[in-house]
Amino acid sequence: MTISSSRYVQPAREGDGVNGRRSPKPPPRTWNAIDPPFRGYQTLPTDSYSQTSSNDPIIIDNGSHLIRAGYSTSSKPLLEFPADVARYKDRKTNRHVCYVGYNAFADATTRGQIKGPFQEATNVVEKWDYMENVLDYVFSSLGVDNGERGGIGRGIVMTEPIAALGYTRKTMNEVLFECYRAPSVAYGIDALFSFKQNKGSDGIIISSSHTSTHVLPVLAGKAIMSGVSRLNFGGYHAALYLKKLLHLKYPGFPAQIKDYQVEQMVRDQCYVSQNFDHEIAHYLEWTGLEDRDRIIQFPFTEHTVIEKSKEELEQIAERKRQGGIRLQEQAAQMRLKKLIEKEQNLEFWKDLQRRLEGQTKKEVKRLLDAEELKDEAALDRTIKDLEKRIRKARNKDIGVEEPEEQEEQSFPLLDTPDADLDEAGLKQKRHQRLMKSGLEARQRAKAEKAQEAARQAEVQRLDDEQRDTNLDSWLQQRRAKRSTLLQQIKDRDRQTRDLGNRKSLASQIRMKTLASLASDQPGRKRRRGGGDDDDFGANDEDWGVYRTVQTGEPGASDEEEEEDLDGDMRKLEAELLQHDPEFSEAHTMGAARDWTKSLMHAFLRGPRPFDPESQRELHQLHLNVERIRVPEVVFQPSIAGLDQAGLVDIAAGVIESGFGKDGRDRRAVLKDIFFTGGNTMFEGFQQRFEKDLRALLPVDAVMQTRKAKDPLLDAWKGAANWAREPGYKPASVSRAEYEEKGSEYMKEHNLGNVG
Amino acid sequence: MPALTALPADDSHQRLLDQLDLVSKPKPFRNPAWRHHQRRNKNIKQVISEAQRKEASVMATQNNSGATTPAPEGSAIATRAVTPQPSTGGVSLTAQSLSTMVLEKNLQAQITMANGPVATYSNIESAPSLHPASQKHYCDITGLPADYTDPKSRLRYVDGEVFEVVRGLPQGVAEQYLEARAANVILK
């Protein structure tokens, strides 16, 4: 047995009643792919501006995914919207339009124009026009109207990324102070606001948001900026990674997978595995796959076959029958007409024959010439022929089966030497010779056929005999034959596959052949061989060139051959099944291709059979390994090709190196490891982090982890609270300071970046 | 929320769009005289490289000129004993080797940097992992732990069945799989 066939003959995987896997199951639970997150036209209370004083700043959590904004007086942000802007010139109305946030998802046109102020995959503002649109939207929605004095009339507290870039802050300052005439602006770090909101003082913040994941140590409420570390992976990257995986998993997926749908899948279906390697290795196993495999259903339209009612079917059949009868009648009439015609002809010829009797030779010649006949023999033949045809037609009409004429044809003239014959005789002789050789050829073919059948029977008999006498060698032969067949089938599959691809070897060979066939110049072979004859066709395989040249579409002959190989295989396996004690159903090719044992099937289609005809199933995505594979990237960035250490390694590094020799600080921060940001909301994130970090810490280290009360909104709430504290005023840059000290001027404070 | 694919026949959708449009909304808070300067949009690469150039130029000026104030006597330099100095000390030495002092001042800056460098957007990025865990291999197709690598496409695969899939991939798809873990070769 060759190695190449091992794939097909491997025994069935051990399993829990393999046959049970086929048993019908209740319809699976599916999750629908979400619609665009359009919220309709929404109004905010218009008096919110007038209810606040100029001492209540507007808090903006300037997130690269969701932006939250509101007055510091409210307990939660009034506004929350994605950082998406659709701005274009409407062709219908011929004016510029701009939709921000969820409004940008209003229809297909607006969705197609969505861009954001942030640079792709980062938390850095790049497109300032869009940033202005976002701020316009914020102030407009918040009902900002400072009357005569203009400007926004409220201070701004805005979040910025850790170690924000000076240029970004400078430009933001320019926009806020000059475009919106803000009286004061303060910046702070979202993670620190969230930590403050959750009453943290010493600790390590694990902040995983849309575009990045940060580890940030904090002592006495002040960030240790030297200890900060960033991993360039967040919710954005997780969704992008899942999207890539899904595109590769379902290359011909009929629906378009949108970003917001993928984000939803990440949020709803993914979780962090507690023991990744172990769990993923067993993820596609049959047991429990039903629960692990999640089906995302995309909208589809089922092609329904219109069922015809019984009466309709009967009507159709009746109509067909009627049509058939009519056709038969027509044909019978036609036959009758022809028969009459023939009989008239026969009458005419017979009459002619009678008239010829007793006429002079010259007269006979004249009469025959008039009818374009050569001689009397020709007339005889015509009459005989007609008579035969009429008889046949009559018999057919009345349904009499005419016995095959078995008259022994005689060829008397063949033995007569040419010299004894006149011209007509010679002609007759030639005719007879032709007839004779035809007859002989037919007889020969018949004999050969009989011989072939006998030979086949003999082969079968010998084969049976060999099997009976020497089963081992017979089996050996059959197995060898089977592996060759397998190889052939594989080769054929590969060939068809390769021909679809323009750059494959098979396609290139085909092109070469085509070129050489089309070229007028003699090929190299011919030149060497000399002469014009290239022996094409001497070898049967030469004709294969036409198969090679045939296009990739499976033509008729291809189909035939395919049938042939597969048919042969079936026959062979049937024989083996009957006689080979070691060969069982599980070894057959059909069994090896059985979906219940296929890893790829479990991966692509879960624990159910797949019907490629069903539009419903074609529009389904199965999430299984992806559910843990995607969030795992934060812990093992190399999975997604990110050349950075995992989150736990980073945190361990920060803890180890960030706090000098003093063990007290380290002990303090370990007691409060704090999670915030949307990307930490995966089920199991906290536990996994704790488990992995514990393994890296000394035995007696005391560690505690906790999650922000609201990982999404606590940054905004913290900022709002901070703005009500006395520490806020001195930390904000006033308009006068801005004008005096320039756009790059900033103030350091505990919750912000340092200059 | 009803399906948005089917738009109503009348102009209600257009009216909704008009309602949502930000351009037509009054914006009394905006400064009508505000003109932003050209080319304010810079991508992160430009911004970072500008920031780094600025930093470098500050360093260079400190290295080359004596413009920065020398550290006062008995400062951290002496205590750290960076340079073994003859204990002649005094103003004369300071006068003699102003440049040395500038250098030492810079050195001191670097030392403090080592303890707590200024965090910048680029330098807080975490380093590549040297941990053996980052060497784990997973099947590119199924994500399962993989023991094998196809030498032809360089894809990792978990078993024979997946190998057949790997070998049956259409042209270019193997590169996409590699790209998903940033292992593809980009020819420039």
pLDDT in tens, A384-406: 888 888 888 888 777 665 555 55
Closest chain A CA to residue B133: A636
Query: DSSP class of residue B129?
Result: P
Q: Do residue A172 and residue A135 come from a single domain? A: yes
Average pLDDT of A726-745?
91
The answer on pLDDT for A34 being more than 70 is yes
A600 vs B42, B47, B161: nearest CB = B161
* Dihedral-angle region of residue A18 (phi above 0 means left; psi in -120 to 50 means alpha; beta otherwise): alpha
- A-chain residues near B117 (CB < 8 A): 226
Residues A486 and A589: their CA atoms lie apart, in Å, by: 9
Phi and psi dihedrals of A89, rounded to 5? -100, 120
User: In this predicted structure, what is the pLDDT of residue A550?
Assistant: 66
Lowest-pLDDT choice from A335-344, A360-369, A537-546: A537-546
User: In this predicted structure, what is the pLDDT of residue A4?
Assistant: 39
User: In this predicted structure, what is the pLDDT of residue A489?
Assistant: 83
- Continuous segment of H or E residues that includes residue A733: strand A733-734
- Contact at 8 Å (CB) between A207 and A646? no
Q: Do residue A498 and residue A364 come from a single domain? A: no
A180 vs B25, B31, B135: nearest CB = B31
B22 vs A136, A168, A646: nearest CB = A136
Q: What pLDDT, in 10s, does the model give residues A630-646?
A: 999 999 999 998 889 99
> Residue A262: inside a domain, yes or no?
no
Share of chain B above pLDDT 70, in %: 63
Place A272 in a pLDDT band, splitting at 50, 70 and 90.
Answer: very high
Q: Do residue A389 and residue A418 come from a single domain? A: no
Which residue of A490, A599, A604 is the best one to mutate when testing the B interface, meaning the one whose CB has the most B CBs within 10 A? A599
Q: What pLDDT, in 10s, does the model give residues B65-92?
A: 444 454 444 444 444 444 444 444 444 4
The pLDDT mean for chain A works out to 85
Better-predicted residue by pLDDT, A301 or A58: A58
| A179/B43 touch (CB, cutoff 8 Å), yes or no | no
Q: Of B53, B27, B22, B33, which Cα lies nearest the Cα of B122?
A: B53
> Residue A648: inside a domain, yes or no?
no
* Dihedral-angle region of residue A448 (phi above 0 means left; psi in -120 to 50 means alpha; beta otherwise): alpha
A501 vs B135, B162, B170: nearest CB = B170
- B-chain residues near A170 (CB < 8 A): none
Q: Of A630, A637, A634, which Cα lies nearest the Cα of A688?
A: A634
Average pLDDT of B27-37?
87
Radius of gyration in angstroms for the set of CA atoms belonging to chain B, rounded to a whole number = 31
Query: Which of the listed ranges A377-381, A563-567, B13-17 does the model predict with the highest average pLDDT?
Result: B13-17
Q: Do residue A437 and residue A550 come from a single domain? A: no
Q: What pLDDT, in 10s, does the model give residues A39-95?
A: 888 887 777 888 888 889 999 999 999 999 999 999 999 999 999 999 999 888 899
Count of other CB atoms within 10 angstroms of residue A627 = 25
| A228/B28 touch (CB, cutoff 8 Å), yes or no | no
The pLDDT mean for chain B works out to 74
> Residue A489: inside a domain, yes or no?
yes
Residues A49 and A167: their CA atoms lie apart, in Å, by: 31
Residues A270 and A634: their CA atoms lie apart, in Å, by: 13
What ranges in A580-637 are assigned the alpha helix state H? 589-592, 599-605, 615-618, 626-629
- Contact at 8 Å (CB) between A213 and A234? yes
List, as ranges, residues 40-99 from A with C-beta within 8 Å of B: 40-41, 92, 95-99
CB contact A599 to B (< 8 Å):
yes
| A643/B145 touch (CB, cutoff 8 Å), yes or no | no
Cross-strand pairs, A204: A217, A673
Shortest CA gap A40–chain B (Å): 8
Residues A580 and A578: their CA atoms lie apart, in Å, by: 6
Closest chain A CA to residue B35: A179
Q: Do residue A84 and residue A128 come from a single domain? A: yes
B51 vs A110, A165, A644: nearest CB = A165
| A277/B136 touch (CB, cutoff 8 Å), yes or no | yes
| A241/B22 touch (CB, cutoff 8 Å), yes or no | no
Share of chain A above pLDDT 70, in %: 89
Q: Of A208, A213, A212, A216, which Cα lies nearest the Cα of A192?
A: A216
User: In this predicted structure, what is the pLDDT of residue A393?
Assistant: 80
Better-predicted residue by pLDDT, A20 or A637: A637
Query: What is the CATH classification number for the domain harbouring A73?
Result: 3.30.420.40
B143 vs A39, A232, A625: nearest CB = A625
The answer on pLDDT for A565 being more than 90 is no
State whether residue A98 is helix, strand or coil: strand
Shortest CA gap A134–chain B (Å): 10
User: In this predicted structure, what is the pLDDT of residue B112?
Assistant: 46
> Residue A600: inside a domain, yes or no?
no
User: In this predicted structure, what is the pLDDT of residue A378?
Assistant: 82
User: In this predicted structure, what is the pLDDT of residue B61?
Assistant: 63
User: In this predicted structure, what is the pLDDT of residue A478?
Assistant: 84
CB contact A638 to B (< 8 Å):
yes
- Residue A106: domain span: 46-197+713-741
Q: Do residue A56 and residue A159 come from a single domain? A: yes
B121 vs A98, A165, A636: nearest CB = A165
* Dihedral-angle region of residue A526 (phi above 0 means left; psi in -120 to 50 means alpha; beta otherwise): alpha
Residues A139 and B72: their CA atoms lie apart, in Å, by: 52
| A181/B31 touch (CB, cutoff 8 Å), yes or no | yes
CB contact A124 to B (< 8 Å):
yes
User: Angle at CA A721, nearest 5°, toward A193 and A683?
Assistant: 45
User: In this predicted structure, what is the pLDDT of residue B133?
Assistant: 67
3-state helix, strand, coil in chain A (%, to 5): 55, 10, 35
User: In this predicted structure, what is the pLDDT of residue B108?
Assistant: 54
User: ipTM of the predicted structure?
Assistant: 0.74
CB contact B21 to A (< 8 Å):
yes
User: In this predicted structure, what is the pLDDT of residue A664?
Assistant: 82
- A-chain residues near B3 (CB < 8 A): 35
Residue A743 Cα to chain centre, angstroms: 52
- B-chain residues near A230 (CB < 8 A): 124-126
| A133/B22 touch (CB, cutoff 8 Å), yes or no | yes
Q: How many domains does chain A have?
A: 4
List, as ranges, residues 10-39 from A with C-beta within 8 Å of B: 35-36, 38-39
Q: Do residue A366 and residue A503 come from a single domain? A: no
The answer on pLDDT for A2 being more than 50 is no
- Continuous segment of H or E residues that includes residue A353: helix A310-356
- A-chain residues near B165 (CB < 8 A): 600
Count of other CB atoms within 10 angstroms of residue A357 = 7
- Contact at 8 Å (CB) between A651 and A695? no
- B-chain residues near A39 (CB < 8 A): 1
User: Angle at CA A494, nearest 5°, toward A489 and A496?
Assistant: 95
Share of chain B above pLDDT 90, in %: 17
Place A691 in a pLDDT band, splitting at 50, 70 and 90.
Answer: very high
Shortest CA gap A79–chain B (Å): 15
List, as ranges, residues 25-64 from B with C-beta within 8 Å of A: 25-31, 34, 36, 40-44, 47-48, 50-51
- B-chain residues near A498 (CB < 8 A): none
User: In this predicted structure, what is the pLDDT of residue B62?
Assistant: 56
- A-chain residues near B31 (CB < 8 A): 150-151, 178-181
User: In this predicted structure, what is the pLDDT of residue A203?
Assistant: 92
B131 vs A145, A230, A649: nearest CB = A649
The answer on pLDDT for A455 being more than 70 is yes
Start-to-end C-alpha separation, chain B = 48
Q: Do residue A390 and residue A426 come from a single domain? A: no
Q: Do residue A69 and residue A112 come from a single domain? A: yes
Question: Which residues have a Cβ under 8 Å from the Cβ of A165 and sit 6 or more positions away?
Answer: A124, B44, B47, B48, B51, B121
- A-chain residues near B53 (CB < 8 A): none
Residue that the structure tokens 């009758």 belong to:
A336
Q: What pLDDT, in 10s, does the model give residues B105-151?
A: 555 555 444 444 577 888 888 888 877 766 789 999 999 999 999 99
User: In this predicted structure, what is the pLDDT of residue A199?
Assistant: 92
- B-chain residues near A192 (CB < 8 A): none
Residues in chain A, how many?
755
Q: Do residue A101 and residue A138 come from a single domain? A: yes
- A-chain residues near B143 (CB < 8 A): 245, 280, 283, 625-626, 629
Place A755 in a pLDDT band, splitting at 50, 70 and 90.
Answer: low
Closest chain B CA to residue A38: B1
Average pLDDT of A696-715?
91
| B144/A598 touch (CB, cutoff 8 Å), yes or no | no
A41 vs B19, B121, B168: nearest CB = B19
Q: Do residue A346 and residue A443 come from a single domain? A: no
Which residue of B19, B48, B124 is the best one to mutate when testing the A interface, meaning the one whose CB has the most A CBs within 10 A? B124
- Continuous segment of H or E residues that includes residue A456: helix A423-469
Phi and psi dihedrals of A413, rounded to 5? -70, -20
Shortest CA gap A182–chain B (Å): 9
**Residue A338, token pair as written in the block:** 């022809």
User: In this predicted structure, what is the pLDDT of residue A24?
Assistant: 77
- Contact at 8 Å (CB) between A142 and B99? no
Count of other CB atoms within 10 angstroms of residue A619 = 19
| B23/A97 touch (CB, cutoff 8 Å), yes or no | yes
Question: Which residues have a Cβ under 8 Å from the Cβ of A30 and sit 6 or more positions away?
Answer: A295, A296, A297, A620
Better-predicted residue by pLDDT, A181 or A469: A181
- A-chain residues near B125 (CB < 8 A): 229-230, 232, 644
User: In this predicted structure, what is the pLDDT of residue A754?
Assistant: 82
> Residue A282: inside a domain, yes or no?
no
| A35/B127 touch (CB, cutoff 8 Å), yes or no | no
A128 vs B40, B123, B180: nearest CB = B40
Average pLDDT of A302-310?
75
The answer on pLDDT for A192 being more than 70 is yes
CB contact A128 to B (< 8 Å):
yes
The answer on pLDDT for A461 being more than 50 is yes
User: In this predicted structure, what is the pLDDT of residue B4?
Assistant: 47
Shortest CA gap B5–chain A (Å): 8
User: In this predicted structure, what is the pLDDT of residue A394?
Assistant: 80
A226 vs B117, B129, B141: nearest CB = B117
Residues A205 and A214: their CA atoms lie apart, in Å, by: 8
Query: Which of the listed ranges A335-344, A458-467, A607-616, A629-638 does the model predict with the highest average pLDDT?
Result: A629-638
Q: What pLDDT, in 10s, does the model give residues A495-552?
A: 776 766 677 777 788 888 888 878 776 555 545 545 556 677 777 777 777 766 765 4
